[in-house]
Every structure is written in structure tokens, then in C-alpha cells.
Chain A
């Protein structure tokens, strides 16, 4: 009787209650207690506790332990019906909160659905190939002297492919697929664009593309054979039989006759190999014999291996490593080849020079992460609001418990409620998804073409899983809290229950949402500014209103003449390709052979520098072609960085200097003479830091023919009319290629299309995050003003004015916003710099407005919401509320 406050060890007691059969529990527990109390009196607390421990473990035996399965849980259906009924009633009763919750969850669900469908699309890539497990792609990593970090390329040299074929066991077949660029084929219906690829005869042994007509084993063996996809064949030959017909394509400006040896099905969307015509590889080799044996020629195509057995991969990798080691001895340029599993291509590593379509893993992870963040944000909204409203439900919980509900029963009840709510959100989310699907699929990059986002049966279990998981996450915490309600306390009419004291986690959630919204806004602003900066960056030459027209070499002069009369054209210049948009390199060696460097180049005429506004600071321009006398000595103009490469300090010293030019596909080397130096300019439009093909030094060879690009400087008030005129002139000339004229500026914008897409997506997510946070804030503020109605009324009666009330009620929010800002701003700026801006060598300068943009916007919205709520609260008539006191 005396030591009533000394209770037996709680943990042991709980343990006992857990394992003991319910029927036996009461009296045995009573016995334990009685013994315990007596023991305290006789021998003291410590011995009593020890005996208690012994007793509990003695009781842990078969006759007393309850059966493993719940003994009373046979028929839950009745309770389930009740839960559903109550859940529906609650949804209707709290219509406002339910709408807010459902809306928030639906929005985040639509994002979740998008990501789920996108992921299934991505993972379905290349799955239809029978041999996919045994196919590997050979990659190349090279460390050029002086280049920062080695980049891995998806391409490989013919040399290594053939060496592997000859020397590495375990490789059943080797497939070469080499780039052939774009081509236009002339047919009765006009020029048809095809995207051919050179492929060796093993093509159909590797991949499961259906060959509708022709013999798979021989179709790509003979030189000058071509296999077309159905759609291309249709475009070229109409409804006629295509097999055995002749097709003429320009290969390296040489028109070549190819015989159609097969017709294949168009590739499905989920194949990374999307070429629509295949030319036999023997054709390529016939033309390019030199490149076969040069291990440095790894830019131009892909090598695939078909292994006997997937298990042999590591050994094969080792053998290839040995080959590399042998070859690298004594050279300055290290080449290392690796293997990439076929199924790892999409989604996969972001390799340079990738063939076909690609979706880097980093992007996929970013996508998933963002979707998760949005989903969690909305879920926590629900958690927050449920906790806040939990007090109203606690009486119900008390009654349920008195009627026999266990804690677990109550827990499941609230989980059922949240799952039902989530189910509704899913349905609305699907509707929302269908809307944003259109928006997503029309984003301005080709990457979006990789997705179809169609609903399939396989998605149903994923979506249901999503509902369950979200329901659990969102409803878990409130369910746990509510199930802990003690029937006694609540039915006695207890005060502000402990639920309310749990303000801290709720506030944390609100801060999290604010921080998220602010962060996303800031991030998006940064991306946008970088995008604008990038497309307008001064590259060192003038790209405004410069139009580049693609033209056959032999038709160049004709076109030039046709256009000469147009007044809108102020300058015309020819070049082999568009500077900075195509990479073609060469090795320049000093006259004495001691120094050399590999640099980028272009072939241009004397008008080129005028066209692009490039400043020839030293020396002179090319003379017009009529004055070229010495055909053995080519005139060149170099840029300032070229001088650095050859360690020439004084630019004037380089004038008249001669060098050798070595090219890969020609044995001979030619002598060149520097006649002028142009200021440095940015070559790669993407403003990326040095990549393997982004050399600072540049050289312009003087050319008077073999131009494939005609560049025009336009000055026109009516661009459309001008373009029409130009196109007419083009058609007149009778080129074999389709009319393709691109504005230099537009091309630059396309380079950054990825940035633009990123910006659009982040914008969208920011919008989502704000919506969800606003709803969260709305919910919390509605709740808190409602619960303080009495207090507000009293204050009003005592003379508080509206501004007083406003200050009072918004104090806590101000603090939360400031904290959120303190977290979000540095984090967002840091992430934006690390992830996006680091890829660029040149960045925009961020102003204070940019950095605080997110903060200001969210504060603005928050202010509106709070203001609105306080206004409503202060309008209420105190008399109504205080009447019953």
C-alpha cells in the first residue's frame, strides 16, 4: 500500500503483455504485480525488479504465449465498410480541407504519373532485341595531351573493331555502324531526306529488326547495297516494288549508285537506333581504306560486339585492355577502349559522340528526384492538415476505443481514410496528367520525342502502389497520433490535447514547403538568365541576320549568281561548313617539323570575314580567287590562339610563315602560308568548357570552290518575303538537296534548347511547388484563425484594430518565411551553380533581384493568404462568438 508509485519495469511489462494470451493476461499480470509489490516490501526494489524479470521469462512458454496470428481477425469486411463510410462522410463534412488536400495531391500525382510513364518508356528501350543480353558497344576514352579530363566517347575506330575480331576470343561477331550523315535522294516525288548509316552484314544477326523483303544474311554484304525502311521506300518509290531498284546518293560529294537489297520495318519508337536506311559497310571501306588501320580514327562510327556468352564480358574487357596497352606504348595520345552493355545505353551514361538517341542517367535521376520532392511536399500538406484537425476526431476515437477498438484498428481506420483520399486524387491526377502530357510532349527539344507516355496495363500495379505508398506516407503520422488517444482523457472532455502541442513538426513542414518553392523559383530564374545570356553572348563574331544555306558544291556558283541581284543581301560568302557548328580537325606542323598541333578548321572565301564581322587585326585578308597564282602554297588565316600553340609572341612574326598541313584521309601533306591573323572567337556555340573537340586555335584555309554553305548577310524589313525569294532562287538552281537555310542565331538557340527545356520544366515544378505550399499555408492559416476565433473576438471587443490583429497573427509566419529563405536561397544558388552553370565557361552575373526573386514571390503570396484570412476573421461579429460564454 505504501509504495503505490513504484511500478514494475515498463519494458518487461509491455513485453509480457505482448506475448501473453489475452485470455490469461489479466490474472497473471495481477499476480505479477502482487508479487512485485510484496517483494519490494520484503526485500527492496532492486530484488523485486529482478524477481519480476525472472517471473516474466518463466512465463515465456508455450502454454501461455498467444497464437501467432491475430485470433480475432477473421472477418474484417464489416469494419472495412464502416471505415469507408466514415471516411466518405468526413470528406464531405470538411469539404474545404478535402478539396485543398485532393487538389494538392492530384497535382503532385500527375507529376508522379508522368514520371512513372516516362520511366517505363525509357526502360522499354531496346528491349525487343532478342540478343540484347549479349550485345556490347565499344567505347573510347582518350587523353589528349593537355586536355583537361578524358571524355568517354560512344564511338570507336574500325581498327580496334577488327583487332578485337581477330584476337579476342569469346566474341562471336563484330558489327560496324558508321555515320553517313544526312542525305537527300532524288526521286520522282522530289528530294527525299534519308538518314543512312553504314552497317556491316552482321546487322540482322545482332538486332531484331524485321526484314520484310530481302535476305537477311546477304543484304548488307555486297558493296553498294542499301536497305531501306518501309516509310523511306514508300517516299522514294511510291507504291512500287523497291527491291533491286537503284538509288543514287552523294557519298563524299560523289554520287554513288546503290542497289536496294532489302526492305525493313520502321524502327519502333523505343529503339535508340533510328536510322532509316542502311548502306553496306563494304561500300564505306571501299571509299575510305586509309581509316581502317588508324587507331586514332575513332570519331566516325560505332563498333558493336556480339558475345558468345554474357559471362565472358570481364575477360573480354581484360583482353581489350591488353591490346590498348600494347598500342599505347610510345604514343602521346592514350586510347583506351571499354565496353558498354547494350541495355545500358538508354537510359545510360552521357557519352560524347553518341549514336542515335540517348537519355543520360543523370537526367533521369533528376527527374525522379524532383517528382519525389513534389509528391512528398503534397503528402506532408495532408499530414499537416490532418494533424491540425485531429482534435475534432479524438472524441470519435475515444468512443471507438471504448467499444473495443484496438490501437491498430484505429490506425487502420485513418490509413483507410487517407488511401481513399489519395485514390480520388489519383483519378483527378490522371485527368491533369492528360493535360500536361500535351505540354510535355511539345517541349522544344528532340529528347521529348523519346517518350510516348501511353497508358498500358502494366502501369496499373505501379499506380496502385503509388496510391498505397502516398496514402501511407501522408496519413501515417496522423494515424499514429490519433490511435494513441486515450479514451479516458478524451471522453472526460480534455482540453487542448497534446496534438496541438505538436506544433513543431507542422511548422517544420510549412518551412520545408516554403523553402522548396523559393528554391525552385530561384533555380528557374538562374537557368533562364543563363539561357538568355548564352544565346546573346558575344561570340567574337556577328551572327545576327546571317543566313546559312546548304547547297551542292557544283551548284554553289549558280546560286550565288541568282542571288547577286537581291538588294537585301549585303554580303555573300562561301564556306565548307558553318564555323563552330561542325568539327573537323587537322594537324598543322611547323615548317621544321618540330612543333605540331591538332586544330579546328574551315575552308572559306575572302568574303567570309566580312560576313561575320571578324576583325583581321594583323596582316591581310585573302585575295579574290582570280589572283591566286601559286596552287602549291595555300593561303591561310589563323586566330590569335594559334600563335600561342606555336609559341609565337609577336603576331607580325607569323605573317608569311609556312607550315605543313596533314590530313587524315590523304596521304599527302600540303604547304600553307599565314597571311593574316584574326581575333579569337568562341568556336563552340555551347559555351562549354574545353571538350575534346573544342580547341582554341583555329585556321581558315582559303578556298575558291567546294563550298557547301553559302552564307548571306541580310538586311530586310520583310524577312518572309526575302526568304521566299531566296527559296525561289534555290529551286531555280536545281539542287539535289532539299532547301535548308538556317539563321545562325536560330541555330545558337537550338544549341541551348536543352537549357530552355530545363527552364520550362523547372518553371512548371516551381509552379507546382508554390501551389502546393500555398494550399498548405491556406490550410494552416484557416485552421489557426478558426481555432483562435474566440481570442480574436475578445481582442476586438477590447479595442484591437485590424492592423493590430494582422501584426499579431502574422508574427509566426514571418519567422517561418525568414527561416525558409535563409535555407532556400543559399542552397538554390549553390545547386544552380554546381549543376547547371558549371557546365558553362561563361556565366551571367547574378543580381540581387535574381537571387531574392524566390523569396520575394513566396513572401508576397504568403502575405496575401494571411491577409485574407485575418480579414475574414476580423470581420466576424464578436457578439455571435462570445454569446454563449
Chain B
């Protein structure tokens, strides 16, 4: 948790985007999270998280093609930037370090 401000929910969203790699847009991200984590996800919270992270530079987005589905509304595809990858790695490292520091008799 140094210079990367990444909340827990945001981290999960970001990871999901990485998982979906290339096919990450609103509905797919949400579905994946709901299935994998077995909990409901607020679409508002998720969208806000996506936009915020895009503002911070962890994500970039672009529009897909317009199709007949979805009333002609295009999909916005998100991808993780390298800066975002850094943030993820950093978060993982921070967590691992903490795990290692726990004396063995506390958690097995």
C-alpha cells in the first residue's frame, strides 16, 4: 500500500478485468464476479470503481462495434494497463509479506 491507492473491491474488479482479458465489459465483469465470488455485485459500485480506476490510470477502455443487440448501444471494453499491473503486483506483494510475517502458530 505505498503509492498505489487500491481498495479491496477495486482490486477484485481489476483482477477480474485481467482474468477476462479482452472480453471485459460491464455485464461480463459483473457476471464473473458474481459467479466466482458467490455474492451479488452492485452495478453502481462496480461501474464507479471502473471509472475511478480508469481515471487513476489502472485501466484503459475503448468502445466495441455497434450491433443490433443491446438496442444498438456499444460495449465498453476495459483492459489493464501496465500501471495497473504494477498496482496489482504491489498489492499482492504487500499481502504476501504480511502473510509471511505471521507466526506459524496463529494461522495454519
Residues of A that sit less than 8 Å from B by CB? 24, 26-35, 55, 57-64
Which partner residue on chain B sits nearest A38 by CB separation? B27
* Stretch touching chain A among B1-9, B46-54, B81-89, B98-106: B46-54
- B73 in complex: contacting residue of A30, A35, A64, CB < 8 Å: A30
Contact assessment for A58 and B42 in the assembled complex, using a CB-CB cutoff below 8 Å: yes
Our pick among A33, A58, A63 for the contact of B51 (Cβ within 8 Å) is A63
* B63 proximity list for chain A (CB < 8 A): 26-27
| Docked complex Cα distance between A26 and B73 (Å) | 6
Contacts of B74 in A (CB 8 A): 26-27, 30
For residue A33, which residues in chain B have a CB less than 8 angstroms away from its CB?
A: 70-71, 73
Give the complex CA separation of A360 and B78 in angstroms. 76
A34, A59, A61: the one contacting B27 at CB < 8 Å is A34
Q: How far is the CA of A287 from the CA of B30 in the complex (A)?
A: 104
Contact B70 A59 (CB under 8 A): no
Docked-complex contact B43 and A30, CB < 8 angstroms: no
Question: Please, which residues of chain A bring their CB within 8 A of the CB of B27?
Answer: 31, 34-35
With a CB–CB cut-off of 8 A, which chain B residues contact A24?
Answer: 47, 51
B52: chain A residues at CB < 8 Å are: 63
A63 to B42, CA, bound (A): 13
What per-residue 1/0 map shows which CB atoms of B75-96 lie under 8 Å from chain A? Answer: 1100000000000000000000
Interface residue? B69 (CB, 8 A): yes
Pick from B25, B42, B48: contact of A31, CB under 8 Å: B25
B108–chain A nearest beta-carbon distance, Å: 39
Please tell me if the beta carbons of B44 and A31 are within 8 angstroms of each other in the complex. no
Roughly how many angstroms separate A30 CA and B70 CA in the complex, as a whole number? 5
- 8 CB contacts below 8 A, A to B, read A24-B47, A26-B63, A30-B70, A32-B43, A33-B70, A34-B69, A35-B27, A59-B43
Asked whether, in the complex, the Cβ of B47 is within 8 Å of the Cβ of A28, the reply is yes
CA distance A174 to B79 in the complex (A): 90
Instruction: Given the known inter-chain contacts A33-B70, A33-B71, A34-B69, please indicate yes or no for A27 contacting B45, CB distance below 8 A.
Output: no
How far is it, in angstroms, between the C-alpha of A24 and the C-alpha of B52 when the chains are bound?
Answer: 12
Q: Which of B30, B44, B73, B76 contacts A59 (CB 8 A)?
A: B44
From known contacts A24-B51, A35-B27, A63-B52, infer whether A30 and B44 are also in contact, taking CB-CB under 8 Å: no
Chain B positions within 8 Å of A59 at CB level: 43-44, 47
A27 in contact with B76 given A34-B27, A59-B43, A64-B44 (CB within 8 Å)? yes
Q: How far is the CB of A432 from chain B (nearest CB, A)?
A: 56
Q: Chain A residues near B71 (CB, 8 Å)? A: 29-30, 33
Out of A27, A57, A61, A63, name the residue touching B25 (CB < 8 Å): A27
Contact B73 A58 (CB under 8 A): no
Tell which of B25, B48, B70, B76 touches A64, judged by Cβ atoms closer than 8 Å. B48
Which B residues are in CB contact (< 8 Å) with A35? 27, 43
A27 touches B43 (CB 8 A): no
User: Whose C-beta in chain B lies nearest to the C-beta of A13?
Assistant: B71
Task: With A27-B76, A63-B48 given, name 10 new contacts (CB 8 A).
Answer: A24-B51, A30-B70, A30-B71, A30-B75, A31-B26, A31-B75, A59-B44, A59-B47, A63-B52, A64-B51
Q: Which residues of B contact A26 (CB under 8 A)?
A: 63, 73-74, 76
Q: How far is the CA of A88 from the CA of B48 in the complex (A)?
A: 48
In the complex, residue of chain B having the shortest beta-carbon distance to the beta carbon of A62: B48
Whole-angstrom CA separation of A58 from B45 in the bound complex: 7
Give CA–CA (A326, B42) in the complex, Å. Answer: 79
The distance in angstroms between the C-alpha atoms of A64 and B51, with both chains bound, is 9
- Nearest CB of B to A50, in Å: 13
Measured CB to CB, the closest approach of chain A to B106, in angstroms, equals 38
Where the two chains meet, the residues of B that have a C-beta atom closer than 8 Å to any C-beta of A are 25-27, 30, 42-45, 47-48, 51-52, 63, 69-71, 73-76
Does B70 lie within 8 Å of A63, measured CB to CB?
no
Q: How far is the CB of B36 from chain A (nearest CB, A)?
A: 18
Contact A58 to B43, CB < 8 A, known contacts A31-B25, A31-B26, A31-B27: yes
A35 CB, min distance to chain B CBs, angstroms: 6
Q: Taking the nearest CB of chain B, how far is it from the CB of A875, in angstroms?
A: 53
Q: Across chains A and B, which 9 residue pairs bring their CB atoms closest together, nearest first?
A: A30-B73, A63-B48, A58-B44, A31-B26, A27-B76, A30-B70, A59-B44, A58-B42, A55-B43
**Chain B residues in 8 Å Cβ range of A32:** 43
- Contact between B44 and A61, CB atoms less than 8 A apart: yes
**CB <8 Å contact, A28 and B48:** no
Cα distance A33–B25 when bound, in Å?
A: 14
Smallest CB separation, B41 vs chain A (Å):
9
Asked if A31 and B43 make an inter-chain contact with CB atoms under 8 angstroms apart, the answer reads yes
Which of A57, A59, A62 has most chain B Cβ within 10 Å?
A59
A34–B73 alpha-carbon span in the complex (Å) = 10
- The answer to whether B47 and A64 have CB atoms under 8 Å apart is yes
Enumerate chain B residues within 8 angstroms of A63, measured Cβ to Cβ: 47-48, 51-52
User: In angstroms, how far is the closest chain A Cβ from the Cβ of B25?
Assistant: 7
Q: How far is the CA of A61 from the CA of B47 in the complex (A)?
A: 10
Which residues of chain A are within 8 angstroms of B75 by Cβ–Cβ distance? Answer: 27, 30-31
Query: B residues within 8 A CB of A34?
Result: 27, 69-70
Question: For A62, what are the chain B residues with a Cβ–Cβ distance below 8 Å?
Answer: 48
B42 and A28: CB pair below 8 A? Answer: no
Given known A33-B71, A34-B70, A63-B52, contact A27–B26 (CB-CB < 8 A):
yes
Residues of B within 8 Å of A60, CB to CB, are 44
Most buried by B among A30, A61, A64: A30
For the complex, give the distance between the alpha carbons of A788 and B25 in Å: 56
**A29 proximity list for chain B (CB < 8 A):** 71, 73
Q: A24 CA to B26 CA in the complex, in Å?
A: 12
Q: How far is the CA of A857 from the CA of B5 in the complex (A)?
A: 84
Nearest-neighbor residue (CB-CB) of B40 within chain A: A54
Whose C-beta in chain A lies nearest to the C-beta of B26?
Answer: A31
Q: How far is the CA of A27 from the CA of B62 in the complex (A)?
A: 10
> B residues within 8 A CB of A55?
43-44
Cβ of A58: which chain B residues have Cβ within 8 Å of it? 42-45
Judge whether A27 and B44 touch: CB under 8 Å.
Answer: no
Per the bound structure, the CA–CA distance linking A31 and B76 in Å amounts to 9
> Which residues of chain A come closer than 8 Å to B30, judged between CB atoms?
31
Report how far A63 CA is from B48 CA in the complex, Å. 5
Give A873 Cβ to nearest chain B Cβ, in Å. Answer: 47
For A27, the chain B residues whose CB sits under 8 A away are 25-26, 63, 73-76
For B49, the closest partner residue in chain A by CB is: A63
B67: nearest residue on chain A (CB-CB)?
Answer: A30
Count chain A CB atoms within 10 A of each CB in B45, B47, B48 and give the residue with the most.
Answer: B47
Question: How far, in angstroms, from A27 to B64 measured CA to CA in the complex?
Answer: 10
Distance between B71 CB and nearest chain A CB, rounded to angstroms: 5
**Please, how many angstroms separate the alpha-carbon atoms of A32 and B76 in the complex?**
13
Shortest C-beta distance, B101 to chain A (Å), equals 35
A33 to B43, CA, bound (A): 13
- Give min CB distance, A639 to chain B, whole Å: 92
Contacts A58-B44, A59-B43, A59-B44 given; indicate if A28 touches B26 (C-beta within 8 A): yes
Closest to A23 in B: B51
Q: Whole-angstrom distance from the CB of B51 to the nearest CB of chain A?
A: 6
> How many angstroms from the CA of A138 to the CA of B30 in the assembled complex?
81
Residue of A nearest to B29 (CB): A31
Task: Tell me, in angstroms, the Cα distance from A122 to B62 when the chains sit together.
Answer: 69
A35, closest chain B residue (CB):
B27
Q: Complex formed: what's the CA distance from A27 to B27 in Å?
A: 10
Contact of A61 among B26, B48, B73, B76 (CB under 8 A): B48
How far is B44's CA from A31's CA once the two chains are assembled, in angstroms? 11
In the docked arrangement, what's the CA distance between A35 and B70, Å? 9
Q: How far is the CB of A477 from chain B (nearest CB, A)?
A: 31
Q: How far is the CB of A13 from chain B (nearest CB, A)?
A: 10
* B residues in contact with A61, CB < 8 Å: 44-45, 48
A29→B76 CA distance, assembly (Å): 11
Contacts of B43 in A (CB 8 A): 31-32, 35, 55, 58-59
A2 to chain B, nearest CB (A): 13
By a CB distance below 8 angstroms, the chain A residues around B47 are 24, 28, 59, 63-64
Interface centre among A28, A29, A57, A64 (most CB of B within 10 A): A28
Chain B residue with minimal CB distance to A57? B44
Rounded to whole angstroms, the CA-CA distance of A60 and B48 in the bound complex is 10
B77 to chain A, nearest CB (A): 9
User: How long is the Cα–Cα vector from A651 to B74 in the complex, in angstroms?
Assistant: 107
